[in-house]
Amino acid sequence: MTRSKITAPASLRCLTRLPGRRRALQPNLLTANRTVTVPDANGTLTVTIATGTAALPTSSIASGACSSAVAVTAKGVVITDVITTSFNADPTSIAGYVPSPGGSLYIVSYPTAGNVNFKVCNNTANPITPGAATLNWNVKR
């Protein structure tokens, strides 16, 4: 049997045994740094650092400009993390995100210490007032 050791700081999630041979990371169970041995492990494990939603701004965005940043608290996020995002609904029917020969809005995401940040930017020739849209986001390592 091959065993792999994983060292996990207390701020991460705890690996627990589920029915059968499956294992899952459970939130907020660690009270101190731990080393976990996983039998028959092969490959790379990722850990969810933070996850949530962000409501995007709906104020007019001038041509060649971006909205102010929407900053969302994300405990444990550092500046080298990568943010994965998706809309929580089809954006192609939301004002500003509808595909158009003249262009549409795009979203810039970036991490800062303890936050994820989003800006809505307009690279078209005219101002655009975006409709309400929400992003789902997560950060994994």
Q: What is the dihedral of CA 19, 27, 107, 97, to 10 degrees?
A: 50
| Domain positions in the chain | 3-39, 48-140
Q: Which residues contact 89 (CB under 8 A, 6 or more apart)?
A: 133, 134
Low-confidence residues in the chain, pLDDT < 50:
1-4
Task: Locate 126 and state its tokens.
Answer: 């005219």
* Rounded distance between C-alpha atoms, residue 71 and residue 6, angstroms: 32
Q: Give me the pLDDT at residue 1, please.
A: 45
Tens digit of each residue's pLDDT (9 = 90 or more) over 68-95? 999 999 999 999 999 999 999 999 999 9
